[in-house]
């Protein structure tokens, strides 16, 4: 699952997911789901669980290739939501371009 460029493996969480174990595989695979996450998770308590399932972040150039969640929550996430999400995910990996030697 991809939320704001962060990759998560929520496989083991599916049986416990309050929205059911089917909604994530049906709606949130191979797309950027930040809009869906904002729509369905009005409580910010869910932010606290993200770190447990975090794998890493996509590189910006790869993120551009991932389609958004069109048809399921079209649009973009609100700036306030993104700001709050990012304040909870300070543990994210920061990509640093490697320097090549000559």
Give the domain ranges of the chain.
2-88
Of the ranges 8-12, 44-48, 58-62, the best mean pLDDT one = 8-12
Kindly report the pTM of this predicted structure. 0.85
CA–CA dist 26, 44 (Å, integer):
23
Q: What is the CATH number of domain 2-88?
A: 3.10.120.10
pLDDT of 100 higher than 90: no
pLDDT of 34 higher than 60: yes
pLDDT of 102 higher than 90: no
pLDDT of 60 higher than 60: yes
pLDDT of residue 72: 53
pLDDT of 99 higher than 80: no
Tokens 């308590």 correspond to what residue?
45
Average pLDDT, the chain: 87
pLDDT of 26 higher than 80: yes
CA distances from 71 to 13, 28, 56, 67, 75 (A): 25, 12, 26, 11, 9
pLDDT band at 71 (very low <50, low <70, confident <90, very high): low
């Amino acid at each position: 699952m991809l939320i704001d460029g962060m990759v998560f493996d929520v496989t083991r969480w599916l049986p416990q997911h309050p929205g059911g174990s089917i909604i994530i595989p049906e709606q949130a695979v191979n797309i950027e789901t930040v809009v869906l996450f904002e729509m369905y998770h009005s409580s910010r308590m869910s932010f606290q669980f993200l770190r447990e399932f975090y794998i890493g972040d996509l590189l910006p150039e790869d993120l551009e290739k991932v389609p958004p969640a069109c048809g399921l929550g079209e649009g973009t996430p609100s700036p306030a939501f993104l700001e709050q999400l990012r304040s909870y995910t300070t543990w994210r990996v920061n990509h640093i371009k490697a320097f090549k030697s000559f």
